[in-house]
Homo-oligomer: A and B are copies of this chain.
Amino acid sequence: MPRPTTPLLSQAGIRASALEIIDRDGLDGLSMRKLAAALGVSAPALYFHYPTKEQLLDDVANEIIEKVDVSAFTHGWREGLLTWARSYRAALAEHPNIVPFLARGPGQRDASLRRADAIHGGLVAAGWPPREATMIGASTKYLVVGAAMGSFSRGFVDDVQVYLDRYPSLGDAHRLREHADAVDRDSFEFALLMFVDGLAARLGGR
């Protein structure tokens, strides 16, 4: 069945289906064969539209990062930073399974760089020295990526009783599992505000 009258595949369609599988089955749950099957096509057909799986994932990741809002630096660095960080985290939290890939390597993801530029520019325009602007950008990214990993609250397995017995100081943390998402969200917000407070004190003390 060669060259169908109307194309069966498109880059956008492939990306959408790939993201769907990642969301449902995890990053390791995505294989080219499974993806092809979901699109009603054989695996090598995908390689006509994407040269490699890596490239496809790069594009999917790009699509997600595109939604991050870096526009609020016009309302001051504090507002800009908070808006950026929150929308960044929200974007990742919507597709947590792709975060390990995101974090692995930068690849060819243009969107990240365009945003890094906007952020750095916004901070410098607000009076931060370039070197500190760089560090603030990096720091915020650390927070977002770290939080997106959810490594803390997800560090508790389902069978909680075991840990309660062994680690008494964890105390009220025994309900961490059931409130995992809320804890992650609150902790991120907490960390972000502490960090920005620290920044404000530093900038104000000059």
Interface residues of A (CB under 8 A from B): 100, 102-106, 108-109, 112-114, 116-118, 120-121, 124, 130-132, 134-139, 141-147, 149, 151-157, 163, 166-173, 176, 183-184, 186-188, 190-191, 193-199, 201-202
Among the listed B121, B145, B152, B194, which residue makes an inter-chain contact with A137, where contact means beta carbons less than 8 Å apart?
Answer: B152
Q: Report yes or no: B124 in contact with A186, Cβ–Cβ below 8 A.
A: no
Q: How far apart are the CA atoms of A166 and B156 in the complex, in Å?
A: 44
Q: Report yes or no: A191 in contact with B131, Cβ–Cβ below 8 A.
A: no
Q: Report yes or no: A151 in contact with B106, Cβ–Cβ below 8 A.
A: yes
Nearest neighbor of A129 in chain B, beta-carbon distance? B172
**A104: B residues at CB distance < 8 A:** 100
**A183: B residues at CB distance < 8 A:** 134-135, 138
Q: Report yes or no: A143 in contact with B146, Cβ–Cβ below 8 A.
A: yes
Q: Report yes or no: A169 in contact with B117, Cβ–Cβ below 8 A.
A: yes
- The smallest beta-carbon distance between A58 and chain B, in angstroms, is 12
Q: How far apart are the CA atoms of A195 and B190 in the complex, in Å?
A: 10
Q: How far apart are the CA atoms of A73 and B105 in the complex, in Å?
A: 35
- The smallest beta-carbon distance between A25 and chain B, in angstroms, is 15
Among the listed B106, B156, B171, B198, which residue makes an inter-chain contact with A194, where contact means beta carbons less than 8 Å apart?
Answer: B198
Q: What are 11 A-B contacts defined by CB distance under 8 Å? A: A102-B151, A105-B154, A106-B157, A109-B155, A120-B170, A124-B171, A134-B173, A142-B188, A193-B198, A194-B195, A195-B198
Among the listed B100, B117, B141, B196, which residue makes an inter-chain contact with A167, where contact means beta carbons less than 8 Å apart?
Answer: B117
Q: How far apart are the CA atoms of A176 and B191 in the complex, in Å?
A: 26
**A102: B residues at CB distance < 8 A:** 151
Q: How far apart are the CA atoms of A147 and B195 in the complex, in Å?
A: 15
Q: Report yes or no: B135 in contact with A186, Cβ–Cβ below 8 A.
A: yes
